[in-house]
Every structure is written in structure tokens, then in C-alpha cells.
Amino acid sequence: MSNENKNLVCENYDAVVVGAGHAGCEAALALSRLGFKTIVFTVSVDSIALMPCNPNIGGSSKGHIVREIDALGGEMGKCIDKTFIQSKMLNKSKGPAVHSLRAQADKQWYTREMRKTLENQENLTIRQAEVSELITEEIGARETYQHDSENVGESRSPSVFSEHSEGSATKHSRGASHCKGELNMPTPKKIIGVKTVSGATYFAKTVVLATGVYLNARCLYGDVIEYTGPNGLKSANHLTDSLLKEGITIKRFKTGTPARIDKRSLDFSKMEEQFGDVPIVPFSFSTDPEKIQKEQVSCYLTYTNEVTHDIIRKNIDRSPLFSGVIEGTGPRYCPSIEDKVMKFPDKDRHQIFVEPEGLYTNEMYLSGMSSSLPEDVQHKIYRTMPGFENAVIVRNAYAIEYDLIDSTELKPSLELKNIEGLFCAGQINGSSGYEEAAGQGLMAGINASRLMQGKEAIILKRSDGYIGVLIDDLVTKDTTEPYRMMTSRAEYRLLLRQDNADLRLTEIGYEIGLVSKERLDYVNRKKEMIKKEVDRLKNTHVGVNEKINTFLKEKKTTELLSGVTLAELCKRPELSYQMISEIDEGRPELPRDVLEQVGIEIKYEGYIAREMQQVESFKKMENKKIPKNFDYDKVKNLRIEARQKLKKYRPENIGMASRISGVSPADISVLLVFLKS
């Protein structure tokens, strides 16, 4: 071995996590808590769980994901419960299916709290370094490396070690495009480690890529282009080349962030004050609601106007988004202010929420006003809004472009189809948002651990949770823009409420090993209490009497002519389970979360039963498996487009196949007939 190679760092781990954003944190914690020796890499230890854009966790549908992460044993809900400065349940005027919790975070506090959690987690090492290269080998090839942590660097032949240290670790994969048999399948490989820019090598059985928006990132506003990640952090400029050498398809997306304004320069008397909820509802099912009640910080609402829009229109040619400088595709559901003004010319104003970034900073975040306009234009447009007449910018708004993979190359477990042991999570898969990233990171970490244990992957179905909907959409649909979760994407949203995530998923979390027996026991007791109370309401009759009819008259609902059950009264539009407590003399003392579930189950019983029937039909489709190397060319009467799409995506079951764009119900019928024969 040469002197040069003797000086290189070589370490062995069970798992490597690349990136310590919201996806990387959940993946690293899941792996290490399940007993696997894990290392997580970050471009800056100070940026662990960084919130480079909005200063909140949760929101419409995203709050559902945070609750599901918590029910499965993840960390995000616990962290925001410790570090929030305002909490609010959104959509309370609508039905429970779309109620979504959102909390304003103290961004620095959130980052510090999550970093502390990682630093004190057993089996977990944090390393500040840029990963530049994947190390793979063909499955079935001679075992070149040994994963023996007690003999690091001693069991490899000098010639092989030298080959990898010279940067040719990916040469095994350069034949990834050659065909194997009639199915035109790439030669399968497995991940065996990663290399950093310094030449250090870290061998592992599994790797999770959670690179966020850092791959070949560049930030833009006006004609200014800075080749950095968010907040001026270093971008990752080497890993994309390694991904390409491995035969992984690379795409390019764009997102953006608003300016930050010094709150001392704002006149809040000209804005609408937005208060938090009382009482405060926690995200984590393990957080004691009594212990998080505290004084909250206000947010504010202001609006753009025609003067704002006129300045934007006059300078639109100076926006890199419209001049063609930006190459990546931006998010449709979170457009920049210039995008909104140009696409919706009929609107004379747009809402702008002014949100504090923390308790110990004067920076205010302008939700709804991301932009890549030049600095001088930003100065002008902000000062046209009520309360912003003397606004002082702390940080300019900017757009950011970054590389990502084609997520249809992933299995539902988030493992690459053609590279065993390599998982991807978060914005590298084309999603947007902290919560979507964290949900994927948790599932990638769980399934990486399952692979090492020789166990079947945990795949959440679309009927199991929003995380299941999210991942299924990513792996079965062409993601042509940053994917954002919405309640409308979930077919069974009345079943997948944020309030019942623990009832749906805690048992799975316990089976995985991330949820304690004590917590599972409480959930089981909770289920029993709910069932017992629902049964009592259905079997408790009230007769016609003056007290009952006086109550009903006061509530402006029809008086009784004959006896009914308490459950029937609950279902009336004018009444609720909580309201009828006045005439329910036998009501037992029950925990708040049990009371909530009873009210929903009784009120929406018919709708819930209908969705449950739909889920049973859905499960039949999901249970019809398609053989791993199924040859679609043998299926006659299958349309050419459908055959091409099915060969590209290689769905694991009929349900997944039916959701692929370009595969029609008629194609599914043909496929079912062939599989039966």
C-alpha cells in the first residue's frame, strides 16, 4: 500500500446518512435507535435540522404528516412541541378531515434542540464533511470489502483499495446501461459505502441520501448568481456526477424564499394581528398538553396592492424566472410573488403573512412573497404594502436551483430499484417541505434497518396514512415540479385525520421497534374507551320529556315526538357529542383525546363506513402482486404507451400499476386477465 493510501481515513458503519436536514435527522435517529451503528454527514454541523425557508412546522395536510411521524416513533413532533412560539389549528370551520395543526417555530431553538437530540443519541456519529462519491459493486461480484469494524483498513488488498482511492469507485456501474436478458434490465448493484471530498472512505451496508436542495445548488435574484446552498451555506458539487455514473436519472428543480425584514422597521398597527389558539394542542401524542400552555407570539397579515403589482410587471424582464436564467421547474402550489402577479392579473391583492423567526431575533418572514426579483425592485415592492412603508431588508429573497433524482426509479420502500441498500429521502426525491422530507426520512431509515435485518420493508398504503400517499405519488407519478402534499391528494382523508394518527399507526411503530410498549398499551386502552363510549351512546335511549325538548328547542333543532338514542341526537347537524352532555346524565369521565374521537366517530359514522368499504376494494388491488421481473411484452392487447410505462416503473402490484399516468383501466383489465391465466 502506498504512503498516500495509508493516510486515508477508512471507517465502517452499518448505515451512512448523507444530509442532516429534516429527512436526514429522522433517518439517522431511526437507524441508530434500532441498534445500527450510523454516521450522518452534513455540510455544516450548525445547519442540522435547518429551517432555511418558512419558520413553521405543520399546516394543511403537513400537520397530518407530523402526527404520523410521531405515531411511528419519529422526532419532529416532539421537537416542535419544545420550540414553538405560536400554535394554531387550521380549517376549524370545516370538517375534521382537513383540520391541520401548525406551529410557528423559533428556528434557531428548533435547530439546537434537534442537534442536541442527535448528539446524545446512542449509536449515532455526526460528521461535518461533503460526501462526493458512492461506492457500489455488482451483486454477485467477488466480495472486495469486508465490513469488520474491528479491522478497519486491514482486510482489503492494496491494489483494490488503491483503485477506489483514485476516484474510480463507480467504474463497476459504468456498465449500468447494458442489458440482461429480454427484459432490458440494468445489472443490479449494491451500495457498499461512500467517499468524501477529502478521500476518506466510509463503508456501510446501507446508505440514505437526504441531500435536500444542496446538489449543485445556486441561488439567484436579479442578475446575481451565487453558487451556494440556502442561507449562504456550501453547496454539494460532486455527488451528482457519481449518481450519473451509477445510471441514476438527474432532474433540476427550483424553489425560493422571501426576504427577511427587520421588525423594528414595520408598523404593525396597519396590519391584522393573528393570534395563536388557546388551549394549545401539542403535535406529539406523548407531550402532556398541560405542560406546553404558554404565552404566544403574534403573527400579522398585510396585503400587496396594485402599486406593488405595477412595479413587478414593469420589472418582470429582470426576474431570472422569466428571463430564462432559471433552468429548474418551480412549485405550482407555492409560486413566487412575480409568478402570482403575472398568472392572476385579475387579483388586485395577495395575502402576505408576517411571521417572527424566533424569540431572540428581529427577523420577520414574509409568507407568500418569495421572489427572485433584483434587490432594488425588492426594496420598492415591499415598501408599497401597509405597515412596510419604512421596511428594512435583513436578507434578500432569492430562488434556488438544485439537482434531484427521478423518484420513479425508487421502490415504495424508497430504495433504488437497481442499487440494493441505497435509499433516498426528501427533496432529492422531488418533494417540497420540511414535513414531507421528515416523513420520507423516517421511512427510509426504517426500511434500511429492515433490509439489514432481513425483514420485509414497511410500506404504508394510501389507506394507512398521508405518508403512504406521499411516497406512492412520488414512486408512481412523473414529478415534473416540486411535490407538495395537500388533503385533496388523499382519497380516504376522513379516515386519515390528524387526530387519529396514533390509532392508525402506533401499532406499526411498535412492531418496527421505535414505539414503547407503554405507549402502545395506552393506545389500546384508548381504543377500548372509545368503543365502550360509542356503544353506550348507541344503546342509551332518551324519551320525550320537557327537559329534553326544552334543550332541543334552545339548540334550534327538532323536538322529539318519540324516543331516540343519544347517538342519533349526536348526528343531528345542529348538535354534537360535546353539546348533548347537558342531557347525558350517565356520561363517564374520559380523557380529552377520547372525547374527541367519540364525537367524530358518532357524527361521521356513515361516511366513515363508506370509506372503509372503498379501502377494502383498494386492498384487493394492492394485494394482487406483479412478479418482480414480469415481462410485459408477453401481454397481448396491452397498449404501447401502457407497456412502456409499466416497463419503466415496474410496479409491485396492480394498485400501483393503476395509478401510473398513461395506464388506463382497460390496460389493467388486460393485465389482470393475463396474470390469472
C-alpha cell at 369: 412573497
CA nearest 211: which of 446, 437, 480?
437
Digit-coded pLDDT (tens) for 181-202: 334 556 889 999 999 999 999 9
Residue the block writes with cell 335511549 = 541
Superfamily for the 624-676 domain: GidA associated domain, C-terminal subdomain (1.10.150.570)
Residues in the chain: 677
Place 566 in a pLDDT band, splitting at 50, 70 and 90. Answer: very high
Helix (H, G, I), strand (E, B) or coil at 499: helix
Digit-coded pLDDT (tens) for 292-311: 999 999 999 999 999 999 99
Classify residue 545 by burial, with Cβ atoms within 10 Å: 0-12, 13-18, 19+. exposed
Q: What are the strands, taking DSSP E only, across 290-384?
A: 299-303, 351-356, 363-367
Place 179 in a pLDDT band, splitting at 50, 70 and 90. Answer: very low
Model's pTM, two decimal places? 0.90
Digit-coded pLDDT (tens) for 400-409: 999 999 999 9
Question: Domain ranges in the chain?
Answer: 10-149+176-215+405-510, 252-400, 516-613, 624-676
Asked whether the predicted pLDDT for residue 282 surpasses 60, the reply is yes
Asked whether the predicted pLDDT for residue 278 surpasses 90, the reply is yes
CA nearest 54: which of 358, 288, 301?
358
C-alpha–C-alpha distance, residues 232 and 395, integer Å = 11
Q: Work out whether strand 10-12 and strand 201-203 pair parallel, antiparallel, or are unpaired.
A: parallel
Q: Work out whether strand 398-405 and strand 218-221 pair parallel, antiparallel, or are unpaired.
A: antiparallel
Asked whether the predicted pLDDT for residue 171 surpasses 90, the reply is no
Overall CATH class of domain 516-613: mainly alpha
Digit-coded pLDDT (tens) for 343-360: 999 999 999 999 999 999
SS in 3 state form for 277-302?
CCCCCCCCCCCCHHHHCCCCCCEEEE
Q: What is the pLDDT of residue 3?
A: 46
CA nearest 366: which of 106, 54, 60, 104?
54
C-alpha cell at 482: 416540486
Q: What is the pLDDT of residue 677?
A: 79
Q: What is the pLDDT of residue 36?
A: 98
H or E element in which residue 28 lies: helix 22-33
Place 149 in a pLDDT band, splitting at 50, 70 and 90. Answer: very low
C-alpha cell at 126: 455526526
Asked whether the predicted pLDDT for residue 165 surpasses 70, the reply is no
Q: What is the pLDDT of residue 609?
A: 95
C-alpha–C-alpha distance, residues 657 and 659, integer Å = 5
Classify residue 371 by burial, with Cβ atoms within 10 Å: 0-12, 13-18, 19+. buried
C-alpha–C-alpha distance, residues 549 and 84, integer Å = 45
Digit-coded pLDDT (tens) for 487-513: 999 999 999 999 999 999 999 999 999
Digit-coded pLDDT (tens) for 363-406: 999 999 999 999 999 999 999 999 999 999 999 999 999 999 99
Q: What is the pLDDT of residue 175?
A: 33
C-alpha–C-alpha distance, residues 94 and 87, integer Å = 18
Q: Residues with Cβ < 8 Å from 36, sequence gap 6 or more?
A: 14, 15, 123, 449, 452
C-alpha–C-alpha distance, residues 38 and 122, integer Å = 9
Digit-coded pLDDT (tens) for 448-459: 999 999 999 999
Percent with pLDDT over 90 in the chain: 79
Q: Work out whether strand 189-196 and strand 419-420 pair parallel, antiparallel, or are unpaired.
A: parallel
C-alpha–C-alpha distance, residues 393 and 364, integer Å = 10
Q: What is the pLDDT of residue 156?
A: 33
Q: Which residues pair with 208 in a beta bridge?
A: 17, 423
Average pLDDT over residues 212-231: 94
Digit-coded pLDDT (tens) for 13-67: 999 999 999 999 999 999 999 999 999 999 999 999 999 999 999 999 999 999 9
Asked whether the predicted pLDDT for residue 146 surpasses 90, the reply is no
CA nearest 170: which of 119, 209, 132, 222?
132
Burial pattern 439-478, b for ≥16 Cβ within 10 A else e, equals: bbbbbbbbbbbbbbeeeeebbbbbbbbbbbbbbbbbbbbe
For the chain, the average pLDDT equals 90
Q: Residues with Cβ < 8 Å from 182, sequence gap 6 or more?
A: 631, 633
Digit-coded pLDDT (tens) for 410-432: 999 999 999 999 999 999 999 99
Digit-coded pLDDT (tens) for 513-556: 999 999 999 999 999 999 999 999 999 999 999 999 999 999 99
Digit-coded pLDDT (tens) for 445-485: 999 999 999 999 999 999 999 999 999 999 998 888 999 99
- For the domain spanning 252-400, the CATH number is 2.40.30.260
- For the domain spanning 10-149+176-215+405-510, the CATH number is 3.50.50.60
Burial pattern 79-97, b for ≥16 Cβ within 10 A else e, equals: bbbbbbbbbbbbeeeeebb
Q: What is the pLDDT of residue 140?
A: 72
Digit-coded pLDDT (tens) for 63-115: 999 999 999 999 999 999 999 999 999 999 999 999 999 999 999 999 999 99
